[in-house]
Amino acid sequence: MDGNKMTQPQLSDNFEQFQQPQAKCTLPPPNELILQWAESRPDEIYLKQIINRQFVEFSYAEVADSALRLVSALQEKGLEPGDKIALVSKNCAEWFITDLALMLGDYISVPIFPTAGADTIDYCVKHSESKAVIVGKLDNSQAVSDVISNNPDLITIALPYDSAAECQYQYEELIKAVEPSELRPQHYDDKLMSIVYTSGTSGVPKGAMLTYGAFSWSAQKLIEHIGIQPNDRLFSYLPLAHITERVYIFGSSISGGIQTAFPESLDTFIEDVKMHRPTLFISVPRLWALFQQRIQDKLPQKKLNILLKIPFINSIVKKRIIEGLGLDQGRVLGCGSAPVSPALLKWYHSVGINITEAWGMTESFAYSTINYPFRADKIGTVGNAGPGIELKIAADDEILVKSNGMFSGYYKNEQESKASFDEQGWLHTGDIGAIDSDGYLTIQGRKKDTFKTAKGKFVAPVPIENKLYQYSRVEMMCLVGLGMPAPILLAVPHQYPNFDKERYERRATKVIKRMNQELESHEKIKGVLMIKDPWSIENGILTPTLKIKRHILEKKYHDVGVNWPSDKLVVWEE
């Protein structure tokens, strides 16, 4: 195949129609960047994978060589430019290498969450018309194995991890058996790079079409705003199938030439972070809450409060906490994927750890607003518009965004694609919010989350939940009330050591009574149901991005709300 002559792969019928105008970006696409880094700094370490408590290191030259060899292997298996290839794996060095290979081979990547169930994986593979699936690190490979069994025509490749599902081919054997590809595709701005499926809180996932131009523009604006430095170190944890990690970590890594490490497992996570001591790190609210709990297990909050008030001692305490998490070199620490409690962010600020919150969507390449440089007085907001971002609030309080980093519509879904943008090019996000006098955005929920009680009154749950998070000590909560006489709160309590159920109930009663004094009569909370089992991806309550599927909870607990006992404010699920 001629490495200098390429044909544009066939895209969906509606791709051209929904392209957004792209500003000229000076940042080359990732496939060109990795070859540039391999030439200018071949022996410098780029990726570090922790295996058996040791770093396995990959230089820029090794990454480029492996990626080009994988291209040759894919070509040998009959895969052609423009074919879609799915990637199902937890974060690892080979995820980066595979993604780069798909760009170098002119394929279209379809990243799928490693926690997704068989039905979701099967849907994404079939809907995207993927010809192959590359499988890597997984906590449970059964879902992928089921999909492979039901799709015998798929080409399947296993990355070098014991947890990967059984596949036709092994990654390491494939790349050893071929020479590096000489293919050098030209990726112009409006060329399709990836189809990323949204997590689907209320229905089937939608495949957002993302172009090279939108990716490079978003990555360039982000690294300019944060100020990526040559000595920065990244740690990749948030799933790379999530657009936030793909832009903030992969984008910063390949665009800035920044060393990136990957954890061995969740069980060793804190030790893994301490091994690498990243300067840039993004995690999810649940993990930040877990870190907090581990600190409080060793240093109870009452004792911590006293120590933080003592001059000189407080700085020693903060230093030990930060070092204990491996974040003593942290320059930009972020929280993404799901809403985070302002109380949690304030707690971290009190111990010297400033966590930046940002907001974006798959459809906006995750880059819209960010609280950077960090401002403590803006905790509770998701920051202000980043460079190059236009932001406004519509008459119905919906957040509208415009930039050159927008997606190009949903794959094979013309109706939803048309509905996403108005005639002026504004993306209608479906989120509702408010912008303060300094330009900082507060998210107040999703338009579709608003529910009507049996009394015919509408209630917006997220603003109420956000207030409750400031007072309560629960892991997760969800206010429901569709068709009920009054809203009820579903709460998943933190399972602290020496958990005192009666004390927890007294506190919950106090918080709800206090909250009800601030609410309109139709918003007042009838009661709190303390949930027995934590919500998870596995039990179908959370999406792969850890967002709550409200419609599932509305249906499951509808009868509980309708028949709530009049003499009870707090009830424990049996």
Tell me: do 496 and 349 sit in the same domain. Answer: no
Tell me: do 404 and 458 sit in the same domain. Answer: no
Residue with tokens 């240093």: 299
Q: What is the distance of C-alpha 275 from the center of its chain?
A: 23
Contact call for residues 246 and 291 (beta carbons, < 8 A): no
| Verdict on whether the full-model pTM lies above 0.85 | yes
Radius of gyration of the chain from its Cα atoms, rounded to whole angstroms: 24
556 found inside a domain: yes
Tell me: do 311 and 230 sit in the same domain. Answer: no
Tell me: do 398 and 352 sit in the same domain. Answer: yes
Q: How far is it, in rounded angstroms, from Cα 4 to Cα 317?
A: 59
Residue 381 DSSP one-character state: B
257 found inside a domain: no
Q: How far is it, in rounded angstroms, from Cα 416 to Cα 205?
A: 12
Pairing status of strand 280-283 against strand 332-335: parallel
4 found inside a domain: no
Tell me: do 441 and 459 sit in the same domain. Answer: no
Tell me: do 418 and 319 sit in the same domain. Answer: yes
Q: How far is it, in rounded angstroms, from Cα 479 to Cα 494?
A: 17
Assign residue 385 the CATH number of its domain.
3.40.50.12780
Assign residue 538 the CATH number of its domain.
3.30.300.30
253 found inside a domain: no
Domain end: 446, 478, 494, which one? 446
pLDDT in 10s for each residue of the chain, 574 residues:
333 333 333 344 444 434 444 456 778 999 999 999 999 999 999 999 999 999 999 999 999 999 999 999 999 999 999 999 999 999 999 999 999 999 999 999 999 999 998 999 999 999 999 999 999 999 889 999 999 999 999 999 999 998 777 899 999 999 999 999 998 988 888 999 999 998 766 568 899 999 999 999 999 999 999 999 989 999 999 999 999 999 999 999 999 999 999 999 988 999 999 999 999 999 988 889 889 988 998 999 999 999 999 999 999 999 999 999 999 999 999 998 778 888 899 999 999 999 999 999 999 999 999 999 999 999 999 999 999 999 999 999 999 999 999 999 999 999 999 999 999 999 999 999 999 999 999 998 888 888 888 888 889 898 899 888 877 778 899 999 998 999 999 999 876 656 678 888 898 999 999 999 999 989 999 999 999 999 988 888 998 878 899 999 999 999 999 999 989 999 999 8
Assign residue 54 the CATH number of its domain.
3.40.50.980
**What is the count of structural domains for the chain?**
3
Query: Which residue range is the domain that position 317 belongs to?
Result: 280-328+331-446
262 found inside a domain: no
385 found inside a domain: yes
Tell me: do 390 and 539 sit in the same domain. Answer: no
